[in-house]
Amino acid sequence: MDLPASTIPANLSAHTAESYDMSIRLLSDGLLFALSDTDGKLCASCTYPFESGAEDYCAAVKELFFRHQHLTFPYRRVHIS
pLDDT tens, residue order, the chain (81 aa): 444 444 777 788 999 999 999 999 999 899 999 999 889 999 888 888 998 777 889 989 999 988 888 899 999 999 999
In angstroms, the Cα distances linking 22 to 30, 45, 46, 56, 61 are 16, 10, 12, 24, 16
At 5 the pLDDT is: 45
Residue 55's pLDDT is what?
82
User: For the chain, what's the residue count?
Assistant: 81
Q: Where are the beta strands (DSSP E) in the chain?
A: 21-27, 30-36, 42-49, 77-80
- Rounded CA-CA distance 42/63 in Å is 25
pLDDT at 21 (0 to 100): 95
C-beta of residue 65 within 8 angstroms of C-beta of residue 78: no
Which pTM value belongs to this model? 0.78
